[in-house]
Amino acid sequence: MPAFSLEPEQTTWCAELRTLAAERLKPLAEKGEPGRVNRPLVAALGDLGLLARLFDAGALELCLLRESLARTCTEAETALALQGLGGHPVAAFGTPAQRDRWLPEVAAGRAVAAFALSEPGAGSDAAALALDAVPDGRGGWHLHGEKRWISNAPEADFATVFARTTPGAGARGITAFLVPADRPGLGGEPLDMLAPHALGTLTFDGVPVGPEDLLGEPDQGFRVAMNTLNLFRPSVGAFAVGMAQAALDAALAHTAARPAFGGVLADLQAVSHRIADMATRTEAARLLVYAAATAYDTGDPDVPRRSAMAKLLATETAQYVVDAAVQLHGAAALQRGHLLEHLYREVRAPRIYEGATEVQRTIIAKELYASRRRDHGDGAPGAAPRHATAPRTEEVPSA
């Protein structure tokens, strides 16, 4: 069966999710405080069994879940995705004790998770990551430095934290730790962002961590990061597709009914052709996201390229579609509280987090040239040169 073909039960489930989001989750989202973790919303996601699916779902199911929620309630989608992003490293690399302690709490919505990778001087350039893990002489470390633009910070109950354990080793000298929020020396503050998500800083003033806090092996933290991001990048595209579809639905309804020049807006070719472009781009992005997710689920070795393509096209498409929908609505769409005003703020960030658009292009080009070298050999005529300064895939995660 083609990667983009969904079974009837899958489309039925997606419709059920949209209804659930409208009736159960959106009212809770609207009561939340902007810029803060909405714990009642997270708890509701747990009560409905949606968070538990994060840890046994395949990539395609994750994409369908995120797209469906995003079409109706972006806050619920984001709360769910952040639980997955922060909890997945524990599920995939945690010790039995770590998994037993935290995964039931995350799945139930009682514990809030964070994924702490980005720093003031290290986003896309992971080799510049500087949070310092200083050996304590007893087999553990003390963490010194700052993480910034971390979702759910500083309110998360624990964070997957990436720190430098081997100076000068670039991406290969990073270790992942599970750091509970009550560790001494751990602080932080919220950040005021364009879209009022729970986003903030984490500060580390000698935060103690030991071997029992390791996620994976020492100096192998970027394996943890890339394993997580390869799964979640296609689903970021699904989030974007959900927003694009919501904007397209709104634009269709508006232009079909809005009186203009003796008819309705849809009668104008300039408008109907714009709608056609919006729909075509949204569908193309959706198919690429589904194909990338299916590649992940089937163990395709081409996952990095496919995931990067899916995130690139879907997030750029969503930006275009939301902007076009605003244009078709006119000034009304810019009024606070309008769906498109909300989407206009929400749609900008996905082009940056979990690998900016430029990072995705770097990954895609790298993978294409690497494939050509494998097929033709390094010395093949026209083969791309190996630039010493070109970032490797594992060096450009950005979150």
Q: Which residues contact 160 (CB under 8 A, 6 or more apart)?
A: 86, 89, 90, 113, 114, 115, 116, 176, 177, 178, 179, 215, 224, 228
What are the tokens at 215? 């996620």
Q: Nearest-CA neighbor of 391 among 359, 368, 369?
A: 359
Annotated catalytic, 189? no
The percent of the chain in helix, strand and coil, each rounded to the nearest 5, is 55, 15, 30
The residue annotated as part of the active site, out of 354, 367, 394, 395, is 354
Helix (H, G, I), strand (E, B) or coil at 377: coil
What SS3 class is residue 122? strand
Q: Are 304 and 369 a contacting pair, CB within 8 Å?
A: no
Q: Which of 98, 200, 206 shows the shortest CA–CA distance to 152? A: 200
Pairing of strands 113-116, 158-164: parallel
Q: Is 213 exposed, middle or buried (0-12, 13-18, 19+ CB in 10 A)?
A: buried
Helix ranges (H only) for 193-302 are: 221-257, 269-297
Q: What is the CA radius of gyration of the chain?
A: 22
**Listed residue (382, 282, 313) closest to 305, CA to CA:** 313
Pair of tokens at residue 259: 């009186």
CA 358-236-62 angle, to 5 degrees, is: 150
d(CA 345, CA 357): 17
CA distance 317 to 71: 15
What single-letter DSSP state applies at residue 112?
-
Residues assigned a catalytic role: 354
